[in-house]
């Protein structure tokens, strides 16, 4: 057996290095955590967990969005079918062949516009909605500025009563509004379809909350220069409130455009009836013309959809914005 001629000091150093290699590493006298000693594969697995959760979340949102979009697909598919196909080829599954038309009937849109004079109803809806939006923005801006910037006796009480009216259903006020319109002689006229909706407690509240966040220094500087309240409102406050005003205008336009019950109550002729009333005319004694009604519904939906796409950024800004800092 060979004799180990390694010097004793060197043998002690080798034994120390071997013991250090077998012991767990130390950092500053404190052992590393078990997680720090995991192999690289385990660390990659831990790093992928947030990505998997995020991917699952997006897949869930995509599935929910698709489910919400199915009714619009159904409307579009039926607008391109023949009358017979709307009866015989019926399916709520967008992956089924019965859901889609055999041959798209694009002329249904032209027929819907021509048969029931949809152009007349569309023009009426545009006039009614634009007039209503203008009145809503004017009255709501004036009232919101008064509640946000002026101090007068009973302002808080009046504002509280105004907010409380939001709990009253519109149907409860139907008869009272009809009596007022009749008293002024507005039946079958444009004011009956616009004036009752030019004052809105919700829009006053929305604008008032934004007006209160405008820095006082801007308003006080204008007052020191001799500006009146109306000038401050239209030269300072309104230009700084584009997002909430755009949001209020879009919501008022959408409500007026989709109105059905009130126009049926205050109009007895087609002179000022909007598009929502015109869609109800695609019905005969033999039954409804489903394909024409769906085509008309898409035509009626397009203006609101395009306006929403154009105002989406402003609506998001109005919701997310927390205020203006001086």
Euclidean distance between CA atoms 15 and 10, whole angstroms: 9
Residues in the chain: 326
CA–CA distances in Å: residue 67 to residues 13, 93, 144, 294: 72, 11, 39, 19
Number of domains observed in the structure of the chain: 2
Position 322 confidence tier, pLDDT thresholds 50, 70, 90: very low
pTM for this entry:
0.76
Domain boundary among 86, 115, 144: 115
**Mean pLDDT taken over the chain:** 83
Residue-range definition of the domain harbouring residue 106: 73-115
Residue 275 belongs to a domain = yes
Q: Lowest-confidence range among 2-16, 38-52, 54-68, 172-186?
A: 2-16
Q: Which residue has the higher pLDDT, 312 or 232?
A: 232
Using an 8 Å Cβ cutoff, are 288 and 78 in contact? no
User: Quick one: which of 211, 215, 213 has its CA closest to 323?
Assistant: 213
> Average pLDDT of 1-16?
52
Residues 227 and 264 in one domain: yes
Domain identity same for 233 and 96: no
The answer on 135 and 97 residing in a single domain is: no
Residues 247 and 100 in one domain: no
Query: Among 92, 115, 138, where does a domain finish?
Result: 115
* Residues 111 and 231 occupy one common structural domain: no
Give every CB contact of residue 92 below 8 A, 6+ residues apart in sequence.
Answer: 70, 74, 99
Contacts by 182-188, CB closer than 8 A, 24 or more apart = 186/266, 187/266, 187/267, 187/268, 188/266, 188/267, 188/268, 188/269, 188/271, 188/272
Lowest-confidence segment of 23-37, 241-255, 292-306 by average pLDDT: 23-37
Same domain, 159 and 254: yes
**pLDDT reported for residue 307:** 87
List, for residues 218-242, the tens digit of each pLDDT value.
888 888 888 888 999 999 899 888 8
Same domain, 181 and 141: yes
Residues 98 and 150 in one domain: no
CATH number for the domain that contains residue 251: 1.10.3720.10
Whether 160 and 271 map to the same domain: the answer is: yes
Whether the per-residue pLDDT at 134 is higher than 50: the answer is: yes
Mean pLDDT of 171-190: 92
Tokens of 316: 């998001």
Asked if residue 98 and residue 148 are part of one domain, the reply reads no
User: Residues 99, 132: one domain?
Assistant: no
Please identify which residue in the block is written with the tokens 């017979």.
Answer: 84
Q: What is the dihedral of CA 252, 130, 122, 304, to 10 degrees?
A: -40
Report yes or no: 82 and 263 within 8 Å, Cβ to Cβ: no
The CA distances from residue 112 to 116, 197, 292, in Å, are 7, 30, 5
- The pLDDT tens digits for 117-128 are 888 999 999 999
Structure confidence at residue 140 (pLDDT):
94
Residue 191 has pLDDT above 50, yes or no: yes
Same domain (yes/no): 101, 166: no
- pLDDT at residue 42 in the model: 56
């Amino acid at each position: 057996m060979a004799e180990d001629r390694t010097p004793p000091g060197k043998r002690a150093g080798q034994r120390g290095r071997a013991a250090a290699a077998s012991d767990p590493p130390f950092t500053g006298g404190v052992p590393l955590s078990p997680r720090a000693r995991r192999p690289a594969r385990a660390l990659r697995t831990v790093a992928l967990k947030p990505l998997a959760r995020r991917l699952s979340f997006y897949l869930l949102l995509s599935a929910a969005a698709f489910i919400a979009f199915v009714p619009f697909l159904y409307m579009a598919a039926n607008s391109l079918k023949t009358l017979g196909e709307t009866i015989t080829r019926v399916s709520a599954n967008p992956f089924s062949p019965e859901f889609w038309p055999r041959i798209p009937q694009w002329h249904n849109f032209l027929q819907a516009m021509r048969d029931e004079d949809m152009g007349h109803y569309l023009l009426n809806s545009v006039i009614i909605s634009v007039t209503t939006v203008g009145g809503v923005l004017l009255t709501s801006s004036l009232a919101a500025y008064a509640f946000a910037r002026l101090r007068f006796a009973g302002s808080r009480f009046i504002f509280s009563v105004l907010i409380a009216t939001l709990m009253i259903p519109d149907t409860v006020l139907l008869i009272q509004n009809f009596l007022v319109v009749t008293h002024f002689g507005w039946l079958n006229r444009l004011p009956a379809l616009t004036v009752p909706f030019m004052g809105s407690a919700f829009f006053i509240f929305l604008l008032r909350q934004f007006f209160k966040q405008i820095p006082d220094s801007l308003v006080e500087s204008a007052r020191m220069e001799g500006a009146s309240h109306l000038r401050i409102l239209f030269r300072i406050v309104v230009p700084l409130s584009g997002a909430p005003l755009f949001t209020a205008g879009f919501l008022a336009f959408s409500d007026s455009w989709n109105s059905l019950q009130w126009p049926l109550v205050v109009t007895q002729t087609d002179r000022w009836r909007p598009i929502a009333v015109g869609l109800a005319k695609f019905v005969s004694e033999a039954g409804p013309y489903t394909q024409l009604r769906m085509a008309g519904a898409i035509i009626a939906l397009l203006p609101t959809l395009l306006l929403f796409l154009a105002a989406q950024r402003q609506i998001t800004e109005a919701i997310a914005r927390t205020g203006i800092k001086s």
